Amino acid sequence: MFNLLIQALTLLSGLVVNFVIPGLYGLEAYGAFIKANVLVFLFQKLLDIINEQLIASVEAEYILVTSLFMAVLIFLLFSAMNLIDSIGNPLLLGVMLLSSACLLSLFGLRLQRWIVGYLMIFLCVFFSALLISYQKILPLNIVDVLILTNLLPCLFAIAVLVCHGARLPMGKRLLSTCKNVVVLLPRMVSITLVFNLFTNILPFILSKSLPVRDLGLFRVIVSIIQSATSLFPINVRAVFVAFVSGSQRQEQYKIIMSTALLYFALAGLTGYAAGWLFPQYSAYLAMLPCLPVLYWSVVTERYLVACGLHRKVIVVNLIIAPLAVAGMILFVHGLKQAELFYAIGFSAYLLFLHVMCQPGIRLSVVFWVALLSPIAVIMKDISLIWGVLYMGSLTIIAAGVLRLRLADLRTLRF
């Protein structure tokens, strides 16, 4: 019950930040904010992604201190770059890094009810800050709203963590923790290269060429796709924790993959129905076919890391990342190209993970899911029916090929 509530609140938190702000302030102002602070999100997401690997490599009680140490290293790097050229608001990055570390530690210690409290405070502060700004009680801009929204829940989280198991390693353990961070950091950065490229570096490159309105629109479109990890009823971090500690890891992986395929196929069909009813919003649904591909990539990556296959995941990232960087620089110069490149990038990542690591899903199924996704994105300009057919085929695969049954859902333990 708590996991479902956490996932609902996480989804709501992402939606209100990524859609209420551009809706209230306008795409022009939102695009200008993204353009000025795109590297803030790059560094924050870098910490958010690499820190998740700590769940598999650090004792739960020391996750807070270890992730904060990671945050300090990232903040120092950001500050050094900021001295050369202004690349974003340091205070905004600081509170976002703190928020990421606190939330990860809450998940690591499995403090579900306190995670619910954290997310509820987050939402309350966010809407209160927007109301204060709208009523002109205080002149709060987007940066001010986000600083308050992240800072106040962090103060609550730190108090909870100190009282419920978070510990400071002492003596030799402290030195060992610091050494582990230095050793683990390159590995964790390597494991998350592809996700950082497409979620952060691509918007950064686009910020140099796209008009601010198109940049804001692309950020909103990508936010819809990235919400896949929150849209699914089971939180990805809870899935990762279960993979790390579970005894029936492979069976759980197959069930969660088939369930997710059916779920996102139905979500995609619902989205296309909404786009048909409200055509003025169809531009925001441009990359719906990426939903199942992105989620399959996330879960497969976490599963392989939990199985100890770090080197294979790193090899896949090191193959895809240079090709992606070259493609970004040479071919991505507009909004349509960025949408297609995003779709192709995650499809390639999913394919390489399965071809090189063979986690257990039939390769013919993976090829169908991954290869038809960018084709559906391309064909959207002709007709949305191609996207509908793609999502319809995924429902058939989930039920007929992967043989998802209701009894399987009862065996999930996340």
Q: Could you read off the pLDDT of 165-211 as tens digits, one per residue?
A: 777 666 566 666 666 666 666 777 777 788 878 877 777 777 777 77
Evaluate whether 269 touches 392 at the Cβ level (below 8 Å).
yes
* Same domain, residue pair 231 and 149: no
SS3 367: helix
Residue 194 within any structural domain of the chain: no
In the chain, how many domains are there? Answer: 2
* Same domain, residue pair 304 and 344: yes
* Same domain, residue pair 156 and 230: no
Q: Measured between alpha carbons, how far is 238 from 402 in angstroms, rounded to an integer?
A: 23
Mean pLDDT to the nearest integer, 239-264: 81
> Does 378 score more than 90 pLDDT?
no
What is the per-residue pLDDT for 101? 87
Higher-confidence position of 41 and 299: 299
* Same domain, residue pair 223 and 138: no
> Does 393 score more than 90 pLDDT?
yes
Matching residue, tokens 């509530």: 5
pLDDT, tens digit (0-9, with 9 covering 90-100), for 294-313: 999 988 988 888 888 888 88
What is the per-residue pLDDT for 228? 67
Residue 191 within any structural domain of the chain: no
Neighbours of 276 (CB within 10 A): 11
Q: Domain containing 77: what range?
A: 2-185
- Which distant-in-sequence residues (6+ apart) come within 8 Å of 342 by Cβ? 198, 202, 222, 225, 287, 290
* Same domain, residue pair 285 and 344: yes
* Same domain, residue pair 172 and 252: no
What is the per-residue pLDDT for 9? 82
Length of the chain: 414
What's the whole-model pTM score?
0.75
What is the per-residue pLDDT for 183? 67
What is the per-residue pLDDT for 184? 67
* Same domain, residue pair 373 and 305: yes
Residue 195 within any structural domain of the chain: no
Q: Measured between alpha carbons, how far is 36 from 38 in angstroms, rounded to an integer?
A: 6
Phi, psi of 90 (to 5 degrees): -65, -35
Give the rounded percent of residues in the chain with a pLDDT score beyond 70: 89
* Same domain, residue pair 58 and 176: yes
* Same domain, residue pair 321 and 180: no
